[in-house]
Amino acid sequence: MKKLTTKSLIKQKTLELFNTEGVQNVTLRTVAKDLGKSYGNITYHYKTKEHLLDDLISDLNFDLNKVIKLSLNYSNKLETYFKLSEFNFSVAKKYRFLLVDNIELQRNYPTLFNNKSIQIILQSETLLKVLKELKANNLLQKNLTEAVFNFIIEVIVAITIEYFKSTKQQDLSVKEYVKKIGKILYPYLTDKGKLLYIKY
């Protein structure tokens, strides 16, 4: 197994601490103490907490690009919806602090975070595309408008935030999460869509 660089170890430990302790409770000194390294060793790689957050966002964008490629490889569009939910869960779990501490991050680091951060994490644009394809394939009702699709996405965002805020890190379950996201879509499915839905 390839040995992690000091920089990678710092990011890995910081991500763990952000997710379990909250961003506001973690400083560079906290990271240094948990890693058993000197404060100077940490600041050699990251001068400030904001620089470290910026690097984590770069990692997030890399992970999201992988999600987009993987989630659009399914010919069954309903399966695409569920797979996208699974992939979004894995990314949201890895970067849980972005959902839980989103308001604080926007307030303290406005250049890095804005009110679209969560929509980006949950791939709202990709999800909108998937919903439109479900409609085109007669799996969603024909009378659904883009406004309805945006409402569905807003509900998904709200439920995701609540789920990750109210559930301990060790209790997060992809099966439970995907089931919640699936229930949001069910009322809008056609009879054909509901028959496929049962398989999941």
**88 token code pair:** 């979004």
User: pTM, whole model, 2 decimals?
Assistant: 0.84
- CATH number, domain containing residue 14: 1.10.10.60
Kindly state whether residues 87 and 150 are assigned to the same domain.
yes
Kindly state whether residues 11 and 90 are assigned to the same domain.
no
Kindly state whether residues 171 and 82 are assigned to the same domain.
yes
With respect to residue 171, please indicate whether it lies within any of the assigned structural domains.
Answer: yes
Per residue in 30-51, is it b (16+ CB within 10 Å) or e — as a string? bbbeebebeeeebeebbeebee
Percent share of the chain, pLDDT over 70: 90
- CATH number, domain containing residue 156: 1.10.357
Kindly state whether residues 26 and 91 are assigned to the same domain.
no
- Whole-number pLDDT of residue 176: 95
Q: How many domains does the chain have?
A: 2
**38 token code pair:** 């000197």
Convert the pLDDT of each residue in 86-101 to its tens digit: 888 998 899 999 888 9
Q: Is the pLDDT of residue 76 over 70?
A: yes
Kindly state whether residues 87 and 136 are assigned to the same domain.
yes
Q: Is the pLDDT of residue 58 over 90?
A: no
Its domain, for residue 132, covers: 57-197
